[in-house]
Amino acid sequence: MRISVDALGGDNAPDEIVAGALAAARRLSGDEIILVGDEEVIRPRLIDAPANVSVREARGVVGMGEDPAASLRARPASSVAVAARMVREGETEAFFSAGSTGASVAAALLLVGRLKGCRRPAIATMLPFDAPALLLDVGATVSCRPQDLLNFAILGGVFARKYLDISDPRVGLINVGEEPGKGDDLAKEAHRLLAGSDYVRFAGNVEGREISRGVADVLVTDGFTGNVVLKTAEGVAREILGMVRGAVTATAATKLAGAVLRPRLLSLRDRVDPENYGGSFLLGVRGSVVIGHGNSRARGVENALIGLARSGSGLAEDSERELAAAQQQVKGDAV
């Protein structure tokens, strides 16, 4: 796979982005990584770089606080715009950026383009628990229609097969109760569409307290709820781990005991670290797009690129085909 990497986006760009990309390239000898950004900034960091790494010139970044669409129009040579345009032109199959999420989404929509049959895209993120699940949408589309949630189920299902190697992923609908009649109008109607689709292995409604329990491989919801769920889960995990750290470091005796437990507690912390996956996927566009965390370090960038390369190409094609089939069935049922 050929991947364009926005070398200038993110709090720790370019150092951590370039370091992560180089580490990934060393492990991905059959794939190609193209770093996008000011050549004079990036070149000096490529001493001893493997042969499958190259540079593409770009000028400037779209910052966190800026209006994404307006900035992309004003700065067509910015790193995220160039990285996205390479996907559209077929030079690469995927792009990665740890810069402004809004800029990545706008670049994907405006420069790469949506899949046919996909009104709105979704950002999909792995919830990092012992029983991981793919949650979407976590913020690309805050106001959804029921059909959007069916589309997200299809997109998430295709992604889970390719990227997570789950042959027949179970899809759950985030809701306030398990019974089919629960929820607001969106959830009720989405439940009906999901339950009726031959293209979704529907596991029913999933309540907030079940999201970490492995009851589904893919969890769909609107971008407002998904964003709040994801950030709540991250915030609470961090809060509890902080309390555990406080308990361990309280006294000399607990510190001694903590030293024995330290390797296991660190591994626990690593298991729930969002950097394990290194980023989120934007689904519903004509290519693979990975949005890194703004504070991604080399390890996160490396993990994201490795995962991306392993998932192989064809995500857009497979998704478009499944969307069409599923929508055909909904229309057929309605006749």
Shortest Å distance, C-beta 238 to a copy of itself: 8
By beta-carbon proximity to a copy of itself, the closer residue of 77 and 131 is 131
Judge contact between 319 and 284, C-beta under 8 A.
yes
Shortest Å distance, C-beta 232 to a copy of itself: 4
Shortest Å distance, C-beta 143 to a copy of itself: 5
By beta-carbon proximity to a copy of itself, the closer residue of 195 and 236 is 236
Return the sign of the alpha-carbon dihedral for residues 52, 58, 64, 67: negative
Measured CA to CA, the distance from residue 3 to residue 289 in angstroms comes to: 9
Burial group, residue 118, by CB count within 10 angstroms (0-12, 13-18, 19+): buried
By beta-carbon proximity to a copy of itself, the closer residue of 287 and 292 is 292
By beta-carbon proximity to a copy of itself, the closer residue of 77 and 256 is 256
By beta-carbon proximity to a copy of itself, the closer residue of 37 and 68 is 68
Tell me the two tokens of residue 218.
């893919």
* Nearest CA-CA partner of 53 in 120, 97, 7: 7
Shortest Å distance, C-beta 203 to a copy of itself: 16
Measured CA to CA, the distance from residue 119 to residue 98 in angstroms comes to: 25
* Nearest CA-CA partner of 128 in 241, 20, 23: 241
Helices (H) and strands (E) in the chain, counts: 11, 11
Binding site for a copy of itself (CB under 8 A): 129-130, 139, 142-143, 174-176, 183-185, 187, 207-213, 221-225, 227-241, 243-244, 247-248, 250, 253-254, 256-261, 264-265, 267-268, 271-272
Shortest Å distance, C-beta 148 to a copy of itself: 13
Burial group, residue 69, by CB count within 10 angstroms (0-12, 13-18, 19+): middle
Shortest Å distance, C-beta 208 to a copy of itself: 3
Shortest Å distance, C-beta 156 to a copy of itself: 18
By beta-carbon proximity to a copy of itself, the closer residue of 246 and 314 is 246
Identify the H or E element spanning 325: helix 315-334
Measured CA to CA, the distance from residue 82 to residue 61 in angstroms comes to: 10
- Count of C-beta atoms within a 10 Å radius of residue 328: 12
By beta-carbon proximity to a copy of itself, the closer residue of 70 and 236 is 236
By beta-carbon proximity to a copy of itself, the closer residue of 211 and 316 is 211
Measured CA to CA, the distance from residue 48 to residue 54 in angstroms comes to: 12
Judge contact between 56 and 33, C-beta under 8 A.
no
What is the distance, to the nearest Å, from the Cα of residue 249 to the centroid of all Cα atoms in its chain? Answer: 35
Shortest Å distance, C-beta 106 to a copy of itself: 15
Shortest Å distance, C-beta 308 to a copy of itself: 25
By beta-carbon proximity to a copy of itself, the closer residue of 52 and 254 is 254
- Count of C-beta atoms within a 10 Å radius of residue 116: 13
